[in-house]
Amino acid sequence: MRETELMLKGYGLTTAEFFYRLPDHLSVLNSYVWQDYDLAPDYPKLFAFIEFWQKKIEGPLHSVRFCHKRLIGPAEWRNVVGEFRLH
């Protein structure tokens, strides 16, 4: 789906910062920023990415910090059919 269609269906922009340990140097923390459109409060895409990380990425997760913002909702959007310009 396109971004506008996702936003009208209730999706919002979710940004997550992952702190993980380097596989060869477990005392070193590194960070990775992930961003996608997701549905609150269940966050299916975020949790799917966390599961992917735990299965496929060697660096063990230390912590995850995230925020979510709905950019528009159905009541905030309107379709403009015409436009009048005044000089």
- Start-to-end C-alpha separation, the chain: 38
Interatomic CA distance for residues 48 and 9, integer angstroms: 20
Partners of 60 in the beta sheet?
A: none
> In a structure prediction context, what are the per-residue pLDDT tens digits for the chain, which is 87 residues long?
788 888 888 899 999 999 999 999 999 999 999 999 999 999 999 999 999 999 999 999 999 999 999 887 556 666 777 767 776
How much is the pTM?
0.78
Q: Which 8-state DSSP code applies to residue 23? A: S
User: What residue segments make up the domains of the chain, in order of their start?
Assistant: 3-74
In one-letter notation, the amino acid at residue 52 is: F
